[in-house]
Chains A and B, each alone.
Chain A
Amino acid sequence: MTPDVVPDGGPTRSAVRRRRRPLTFDRASFMLVFLGLPVAVFVIFVVSPFVQALWYSLTDWSGFSSGMNFVGFDNYVKLFHDDIFLKAVRNNVLLVIVVPIVTIVLALTLATLVTIGGSGTGTVRGLRYAGFYRIISFFPYVIPAIVIGLIWAQVFTPGSGVLDALLTKVGLSGFENYAWLGDARTAMPASMFVMIWGFVGFYMVLFIAAIRGIEPEVFEAARIDGAGRFRSAVSITVPLIRDNVQTAYIYLGIAALDGFVYMQALNPGGGPQNSTLVMPQQLFTTAFTKGQFGYSTAMGVILAAVTMLFALLVFTVNALTGGRERKVKRR
């Protein structure tokens, strides 16, 4: 098959270029190493585990024993009666709704303030010290998620945590020894806050770049037509960077469906009454602590299915509300 390989000269040239080339040692070794090696690594360590997972999820494999029985969809049936797993699914769904929306609204607001919040006449201009704000806000993105979790776990700790101390200092004595992560009412919101804190800066930078990419004339025109800043932000910025928002929503949703690192750092046990337990945590425990490998891979399949469903949903909603139409026009 190697002789078929021809350098791709783009659509206009392919007719000229599409002739067979002699199979020299140079060419053969090139294809073998340049394509064969990376693809082999990818297939062995990424593709094959994914494919195997589908099979394992249909067995009662416990991992280290040699016995493995095909049990069909028993694992899946069991999952739908597993209260703890269902609780984890609900928590993930809650995360996938709240975290991306709050993150995007916050990131968009901050990005808008940075790009068109500046004072000046005539033209809309960026804020002074925009670079400084951008650099600071991006900090959390480069801090390992596990460390973000650990820092905030310490901040939230009753007694020695800085949050309770600050609240007490400003006169809210009720919070003197409040366990933010230990109370089922606040554990989830507090965890969500930490995730959002970790995400906002990255998306803010992304949106700033997108807004800067809009032609200044568009803002100018709106301005002349009498649109204020708020109106410009809502009616011009948001529609014009719609694709970026969609991409951000999908990334954030996938991150929220995971949530493993943050939750593991904040509440390794799943939180009070499993209030912060997420699917990946339950999967991990089921596999590596309980040794129920077949059952846990079924959880993985559910997780993957929910992820796909989520992405599909975002695409559909965006298309139905007119996102696609614009995209086609732009290309």
Chain B
Amino acid sequence: MTTTTADRAVVADSRAPRERAPEGRGVATVAHLALILWSLLVILPLVWTVLSSFKSTQEVLGNPLSLPGQLRFENYVNAWTTAGIGRYFANTVIVVGTALVLVMILGAMCAYVLARFSFPGNRLIYYSMLAGLTFPVFLAIVPLFFVLKNFALLNTLPGLIITYVAFALPFTVFFLHSFFKALPHEIYEAAQIDGAGEWRTFFSVMLPMARPGMASVAIFNFLGLWNQFLLPVALNTDSKNYVLSQGMASFASQAGYAVDFGALFAAVVITVAPVLVVYIIFQRQLQVSVTAGGVK
């Protein structure tokens, strides 16, 4: 490799004023090539999906590499109405929206108490929540079915919401725990001296201070809940109440035979679009939170 000699030369006078040298350019080129290749591998299937969503079924089944003859927006209409994606979309927004608000409130309250108050059982609760993070949901799924049945919540949206909340709670508490722990004690004291009760202290003082943490967890929870598949498939079997992910699965499995393939691809695009938009808006925030959550 020619770069070795260049390497050495640079090291030798590395204290000299920086000057442009070809050193490392070869590496950079290879790096770019590899990353472009990977980016293409990520992008191309998505581009193909979008293109196919504008094709007729004949075109989809005919030549996969061809461009759509015309932009058939009716595929989107068909997916939205005939295939019921519109309804599933509405259900998903209701379920995920409500569950998200609830889990953020309950999670923040629980994390706050666990992080800032000492009482018997504190550690026990915290560690059982940690354990709840690692246990496979599959172990719980059958009993959960009957728990919901006993509460008459099986196959209902409220039942799904409360289950989402319960299973997103451990992660939320775990993540926010460190945020509340880090808040200075003086602020709590000041609030108390100013006559604020515990409720007031939390909602007016502590919660606003944990806002960065709350935002990160909210984004994570949003993605996690939007993508949830197992819980609705097991606990929400009434097709009127389907959420997007299970609606997609059932659409695709019926599809094997006489399906409107254009509409299937359109349904995929409809499902992916909102999360991609959220991602693009919050991408910086999200990547920062991946770091914060992952490093621990």
Give the interface of A toward B (CB within 8 A): 1, 4-10, 13-14, 24, 26-27, 29-31, 33-35, 37-39, 41-42, 44-50, 52-53, 56, 63, 109-110, 113-114, 117-122, 127-129, 132-147, 150-155, 159-162, 164-166, 169, 197, 200-202, 205-206, 209-210, 213, 223-224, 226, 228-229, 244, 247-248, 254, 257-258, 260-261, 264-265, 268, 279-280, 283-284, 287-288, 293, 296-297, 300-301, 303-304, 307-308, 311
* Distance between Cα atoms of A237 and B81 in the complex (Å): 52
CB–CB B42/A50 < 8 A:
no
Tell me the B218-256 residues at the A interface (CB within 8 Å): 223, 226-227, 229-230, 233-234, 244-246, 248-249, 252-253
Residues on B with beta carbons closer than 8 Å to the beta carbon of A42: 128-129, 132, 166, 169-170
* Distance between Cα atoms of A7 and B185 in the complex (Å): 9
- A168: nearest residue on chain B (CB-CB)? B65
- Answer whether A117 and B31 are a contact pair too, CB < 8 Å, given A5-B119, A39-B125, A206-B290: yes
CB B244 to nearest CB in A, in angstroms, measures: 7
- Answer whether A144 and B244 are a contact pair too, CB < 8 Å, given A5-B117, A34-B202, A162-B65: yes
CB–CB B147/A206 < 8 A:
no
Q: A30-B199, A121-B24, A228-B3 are in contact. List 5 more A-B contacts (CB 8 A).
A: A109-B34, A120-B24, A127-B28, A146-B248, A151-B45
Is B156 on the interface with A (CB-CB < 8 A)? no
CB A211 to nearest CB in B, in angstroms, measures: 11
CB–CB A210/B136 < 8 A:
no
* Distance between Cα atoms of A195 and B147 in the complex (Å): 32
* Distance between Cα atoms of A159 and B65 in the complex (Å): 11
Residues on A with beta carbons closer than 8 Å to the beta carbon of B280: 135
- Answer whether A121 and B19 are a contact pair too, CB < 8 Å, given A46-B167, A206-B294, A304-B139: yes
* Distance between Cα atoms of A307 and B245 in the complex (Å): 26
Stretch among B71-79, B209-217, B264-272 lining the A interface: B264-272
When the two chains form the complex, which single residue of A113, A160, A213, A311 contacts B34, counting CB atoms closer than 8 Å? Answer: A113
CB A163 to nearest CB in B, in angstroms, measures: 9
Is B2 on the interface with A (CB-CB < 8 A)? no
CB A219 to nearest CB in B, in angstroms, measures: 12
* Distance between Cα atoms of A134 and B3 in the complex (Å): 27
- Answer whether A27 and B198 are a contact pair too, CB < 8 Å, given A46-B166, A46-B169, A142-B278: yes
When the two chains form the complex, which single residue of B24, B138, B162 contacts A118, counting CB atoms closer than 8 Å? Answer: B24
* Distance between Cα atoms of A227 and B181 in the complex (Å): 42
Tell me the B32-84 residues at the A interface (CB within 8 Å): 32, 34-35, 38-39, 41-43, 45-46, 48-49, 52, 60-65
22 CB-based A-B contacts, threshold 8 Å: A14-B118, A38-B106, A41-B106, A41-B166, A49-B141, A52-B143, A109-B34, A119-B28, A120-B23, A133-B39, A140-B42, A142-B275, A144-B229, A147-B248, A147-B272, A159-B61, A226-B11, A228-B4, A247-B294, A288-B234, A303-B139, A307-B135
Is B261 on the interface with A (CB-CB < 8 A)? yes
CB–CB A264/B136 < 8 A:
no
Residues on B with beta carbons closer than 8 Å to the beta carbon of A296: 142
* Distance between Cα atoms of A229 and B31 in the complex (Å): 12
CB B12 to nearest CB in A, in angstroms, measures: 10
Which 6 pairs of residues, A with B, have the shortest CB-CB distance?
Answer: A117-B31, A45-B166, A49-B140, A209-B291, A38-B110, A300-B139
- B24: nearest residue on chain A (CB-CB)? A119
CB–CB B45/A38 < 8 A:
no
* Distance between Cα atoms of A4 and B120 in the complex (Å): 8
- Answer whether A307 and B136 are a contact pair too, CB < 8 Å, given A45-B166, A169-B65: yes
CB–CB A260/B248 < 8 A:
no
CB–CB B42/A137 < 8 A:
yes
Residues on A with beta carbons closer than 8 Å to the beta carbon of B278: 142
Tell me the B93-112 residues at the A interface (CB within 8 Å): 106-107, 109-110, 112
* Distance between Cα atoms of A6 and B21 in the complex (Å): 63
CB–CB B64/A162 < 8 A:
yes
CB–CB A202/B136 < 8 A:
no
CB A11 to nearest CB in B, in angstroms, measures: 11
CB–CB A197/B138 < 8 A:
no
Residues on B with beta carbons closer than 8 Å to the beta carbon of A48: 143, 147
Residues on A with beta carbons closer than 8 Å to the beta carbon of B112: 34
Residues on A with beta carbons closer than 8 Å to the beta carbon of B185: 7, 9-10, 13
- B165: nearest residue on chain A (CB-CB)? A41
- Answer whether A39 and B110 are a contact pair too, CB < 8 Å, given A142-B278, A150-B252, A162-B65: yes
CB A292 to nearest CB in B, in angstroms, measures: 10
CB–CB A49/B46 < 8 A:
no
CB–CB A6/B65 < 8 A:
no
- B252: nearest residue on chain A (CB-CB)? A150
CB B14 to nearest CB in A, in angstroms, measures: 5
* Distance between Cα atoms of A303 and B138 in the complex (Å): 8
CB–CB A53/B28 < 8 A:
no
CB–CB A244/B294 < 8 A:
yes
